Amino acid sequence: MTTDPEPSAPPTADAGAPLGPDPDHDVTLDAAALRVLAHPVRLVMLNTLREHGASTARRLAKELDLDSGAASYHLRRLAAGGLIEEDEERGTRRDRWWRARHQRSYHDPATVAPDERQGSRAYANAVVLAYGDQLRRLAADVPLFPDDWFEASIFSDYSLSLTPGELEEMKRELVGVIAKYRTRGASSEGAEPAARVSVQLQMFPRL
């Protein structure tokens, strides 16, 4: 038995790919958005808004253990990058509410122009740091998992000898498997209850 914040960087942004973006709900990150998201705190904030809905800087600061001024700054940066927007129906001048504009982010490093690769790598670095922080926080929850979820989870690390082409092939195969379960609806009546599950080849419930 072995087991992100947002979700967030599938291997391809091609519309016909198994995990390709839905143009009505998802965003393919451009160079400006990559620069904004090259910070793990902003990634976590964005994924929090996507998963739990609109929030304020004060609420996010408390949840993520941040200074409220820092939370406000990061929210403004996310808004400037077109990733979130103010929920004007809920907010006030003193207590502004923010919501995510898209369900998921997509970035394919293979499509990046040579002069933009530094931004692509900085974004990937932030993604890794955000996932690492998620796992660090998860450590306190693992002993509390119900038995069925604990036994179904996986925390794994495999050491393989592969070429870039073989890694690309494996990536596409795994994405295809994930797509199969992504398109399934919620558990039907009478079936086992479903929960949000993170899949990184570590797989665990977000309970």
DSSP 145-159: S-HHHHHH-EE----
> By mean pLDDT, which of 21-30, 44-53, 68-77, 98-107 is the weakest?
21-30
The pLDDT confidence band at residue 12, using thresholds 50, 70 and 90, is very low
Q: Please give the radius of gyration of the chain, using alpha carbons only, rounded to the nearest integer.
A: 18
Instruction: Compute the distance between CA of residue 80 and CA of residue 99 in angstroms, rounded to an integer.
Output: 13
- Mean pLDDT score across all residues of the chain: 84
The pLDDT score that the predictor gives to residue 84 is: 97
Burial class (CB in 10 A: 0-12, 13-18, 19+), 147: exposed
- Threshold 0.75, pTM exceeds: no
Question: Which pLDDT score, from 0 to 100, does residue 115 have?
Answer: 87
